Structure 1
Amino acid sequence: MADIRRRMWSVAGLLAAATLSSGLLTTAANASDRDALTAKVPPIVGGQPAKIADHPWVVYLTDTQGNQFCGGTLAKANKIVTAAHCVSGEKPELVQVVAGREDKQTSEGKVAKVTGIWVHPNFQNANSGADVAVLTLDQELQQQPLAVAEKGDTSLYETGKTSTVLGWGATAEGGQASQTLQKAEVPLVSDQECQKAYPQYKSDAMVCAGLPQGGVDSCQGDSGGPLVVENKLIGIVSTGNGCARPNAPGIYTRVATYHDDVQAQLGS
Structure 2
Amino acid sequence: MSVKSRRSLLFVSGALLAVAAVAVPVVAGTAAADPASANQPRIVGGEKASLSDHPYAVYLTDAGGNQFCGAVIVSSTAVATAAHCAKAVAKQDIRVVAGREDKRTTDGQVLSVSKVWVGQGYSDPTKGTDIAVLTVRGQFDQRPAKLPDSGDAGLYAKGTQATVLGWGRIADGGARSDYLRSAEVPLVSDTECKTDYSVYDQRTMVCAGYAEGGVDACQGDSGGPLVVGDTLIGIVSFGDGCAKANKPGVYTRVSTYSDDIKAQAKPRLLG
* Partner of residue 22, structure 1: none
Contact 2:7 2:24 survives alignment (8 Å): no
Asked if the contact 2:4/2:21 (under 8 Å) is kept, the reply is no
Which runs of 5 or more residues in structure 1 are unaligned?
18-24
CA contact (8 A) 1:43 1:221 kept: no
Seen in structure 2, the aligned counterparts of structure 1 residues 113 and 227 have a Cα distance that, compared at 3 Å, is same
- 1:164-192 per-residue CA deviation (whole Å, 9 max, x = no partner) reads 00000011122111000000000000111
Q: Is the Cα contact below 8 Å between 1:149 and 1:259 reproduced in 2?
A: yes
- How far has the Cα of 1:108 moved from its partner? 0.6
What residue is the counterpart of 1:12 in the other structure?
Answer: 12
Cα pair distance change 1:30/1:207, threshold 3 Å = closer
Contact 1:151 1:257 in 2 (8 A): no
CA 1:136 to 1:28, structure 2 compared with 1: closer, same or farther past 3 Å? closer
With normalisation by structure 1, the TM-score equals: 0.91
Residue 230 of structure 1 pairs with residue 206 of structure 2: no
Correspondence 1:248 to 2:258? no
User: How do 1:12-91 and structure 2 match up within 5 A?
Assistant: 12=12, 15-17=15-17, 34-35=27-28, 37-38=30-31, 40=34, 43-88=42-87, 90-91=89-90
CA shift at 1:26, angstroms? 7.4
Which is further off, 44-53 or 81-90? 81-90
* C-alpha contact (below 8 Å) 1:99/1:109 kept by paired residues: yes
Deviation at 1:90, TM superposition (A): 3.7
Q: Structure 2: which 5+ residue stretches go unaligned?
A: none
Give distance in 2, aligned partners of 1:13 and 1:145: 31
Equivalent position SS for 2:155: helix
CA drift of 1:262 comes to 1.1
Bigger mean CA offset, 149-158 vs 98-107: 149-158
CA distance in structure 1 between the aligned counterparts of 2:138 and 2:158, rounded to whole angstroms: 38
Matches of 1:252 and 1:102, distance apart in 2: 23
User: Higher mean Cα deviation, 1-10 or 45-54?
Assistant: 1-10
- How far apart in 1 are the matches of 2:186 and 2:55? 23
Offset of 1:216 from its aligned partner? 0.2
**Do the aligned residues in 1 keep the contact of 2:26 with 2:242 (CA within 8 Å)?**
no
**C-alpha deviation, 1:207, in angstroms:** 0.4
Between the two proteins, the alignment pairs up a number of residues equal to 261
| Aligned pairs for 1:19-168 within 5 A | 34-35=27-28, 37-38=30-31, 40=34, 43-88=42-87, 90-168=89-167
DSSP 3-state at the match of 1:101: coil
Please tell me whether the aligned partners of residues 214 and 245 of structure 1 are also in contact (alpha carbons under 8 angstroms).
Answer: yes
| Cα distance, 1:95–1:31 mapped onto 2, change above 3 Å | closer
- The one-letter amino acid paired with 2:8 is M
Whether the 8 Å CA contact 2:113–2:137 is kept in 1: the answer is yes
Query: How far off is 1:37 after superposition?
Result: 1.7
> What amino acid does structure 2 have at the position aligned with 1:93?
Q
1:35 offset after TM fit, Å?
A: 1.9
Structure 1 residues 14 and 166, CA, compared in 2 at 3 Å: closer, same or farther?
Answer: farther
Match of 1:201 in 2: 200
Matched residues in 2 for 1:156 and 1:30: separation?
25
CA contact (8 A) 2:211 2:247 kept: yes
2:204–2:256 contact (8 Å) kept in structure 1: yes
8 Å CA contact retained: 1:172, 1:243: yes
Cα separation, 1, equivalents of 2:163 and 2:226: 6
The offset of 1:229, in angstroms, is 0.8
Q: Percent identity?
A: 47
- Distance in 2, matches of 1:14 and 1:211, equals 38
Any idea what the Cα deviations from partners look like across 1:7-40, whole Å, max 9, x if unmatched? 23333276234xxxxxxx6755599754252252
CA contact (8 A) 1:173 1:220 kept: yes
**Amino acid of the residue matched to residue 58 of structure 1?**
A
- Is 2:25–2:237's contact at 8 Å kept on the other side of the alignment? no
CA distance in 1: counterparts of 2:141 and 2:262, whole angstroms? 20
Say if 1:30 and 1:153 are closer, same or farther in 2 by CA, change over 3 A: closer
Amino acid at match of 2:62: D
